[in-house]
């Protein structure tokens, strides 16, 4: 169980990556001029973007189902009456299924979207770990 949440990415974190990035022989003034005069052909731009994205992905990737990174510590959850949980994906999937009954001419497409959303269900609440209680959940239906 995590005792503290992961540190969010700050502007200073990104500035540090930019300052540490190997711009070959260019100084920051040269980089500024190159970006201003010819931004489309700077070969280092994708590598710098990748370095920034790597940091963002490391810190910002939503935890996968079951991951405990963002869940409250058990000692804190023990103090809370955790409510039943239905994921937003499954809530919307249930609405789509109901719409299919009301609009049979679109039923096929509506059921496809409902299935897609149920497949995207996080399965558990990312903060409490409570399992998704949708009665139409694939696991609940034994699929």
- The site for Zn ion (CB under 5 A) is made up of 87, 90, 121, 132, 134, 137
Q: Shortest approach of Zn ion to residue 114 CB, angstroms?
A: 11
Contact predicate 135/126, CB 8 Å: no
Q: Judged by CB, which is closer to Zn ion: 13, or 91?
A: 91
Q: What is the number of other CB atoms lying within 10 angstroms of the CB of residue 78?
A: 9
Q: Give the HSE-up count for residue 2: Cα atoms under 13 Å, Cβ half-sphere.
A: 15
CA atoms of 109 and 103, how far apart (whole Å):
10
Closer residue to Zn ion, CB minimum distance, 72 or 132: 132
- Nearest approach in angstroms of CB 133 to Zn ion is 8
Q: If you write DSSP's letter for every residue of 32-52 in order, what string do you get?
A: HHHHHH-GGG-TTHHHHHHHH
Least distance CB 89 / Zn ion (angstroms): 6
Considering the complex, state which of residue 110 and residue 121 has its C-beta at the smaller distance from Zn ion: 121
């Amino acid at each position: 169980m995590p005792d503290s949440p992961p540190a969010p990415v700050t502007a200073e974190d990104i500035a540090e990556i930019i300052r540490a990035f190997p711009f070959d022989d260019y100084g920051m003034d040269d980089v500024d001029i190159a970006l201003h005069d010819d931004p489309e052909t700077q070969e280092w731009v994708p590598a710098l973007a990748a370095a920034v994205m790597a940091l963002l992905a490391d810190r910002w990737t939503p935890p996968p189902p079951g991951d405990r990174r963002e869940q409250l510590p058990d000692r804190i959850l023990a103090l809370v009456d955790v409510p039943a949980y239905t994921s937003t994906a499954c809530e919307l999937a249930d609405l789509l299924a109901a719409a299919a009954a009301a609009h049979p001419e679109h039923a096929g497409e509506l059921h496809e979207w409902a299935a897609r959303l149920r497949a995207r269900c996080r399965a558990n609440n990312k903060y409490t770990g409570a399992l998704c209680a949708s009665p139409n959940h694939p696991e609940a239906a034994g699929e």
